[in-house]
Amino acid sequence: MQDNQLSKEEISQLTDADWRERLSSEEYHVMREKGTERPFTGVYNDVNDEGIYRCKGCGAKLFDADNKFDAGCGWPSFDQGIDNAAIDEHEDNSLGMRRTEVTCSNCGAHLGHVFPDGPRETTGMRYCINSVSIDLDKSAK
């Protein structure tokens, strides 16, 4: 996969119909409607390959595979983003819970949530990410 990240200008031109055409129905539901894939069903839950995880919507670099760990929660988990600018965090009080939503800072796609129960020896954070919102770029590092 080449570094073919969409620019903010290109993203601003995309309509809802464009997003529906670019993404599968499950990807659209998770990334544009803030849905969640079922636990233990995502393609990247048990993957330990090297590379960079990119946003499925715009190609932005989000997570380094070196920061992935098995949290046993059923979703790919990372202890940090690739850099502070890659992801945004938002308060999420939906479904009667108080959580922190994680979105792609480039295109705004919903990625998952972050929790303060990750590995203590690193950041202590667990970025719990939907597999359908990311792509593993094995050629990047």
Q: Which of 128, 129, 132, 136 is catalytic?
A: 128
Query: Are 133 and 53 in contact, with CB atoms under 8 Å apart?
Result: no
Question: CA-CA distance, 129 to 64, in Å (whole number)?
Answer: 13
Judged by DSSP in three states, 60 sits in coil
Q: Residue 107 annotated as binding? A: yes
Q: How far apart are CA 18 and CA 7, in angstroms?
A: 15
Q: Is 73 annotated as a binding residue?
A: no
Residue 73 annotated to the active site: no
58 is in an annotated binding site: yes
Spatial separation of the C-alpha atoms in residues 128 and 50, rounded to whole Å: 18
**Residue type at 6 in one-letter notation:** L
Residues marked as binding?
55, 58, 104, 107
> Looking at the annotation, which residues are catalytic?
128
Residues marked as binding for Zn(2+)?
55, 58, 104, 107
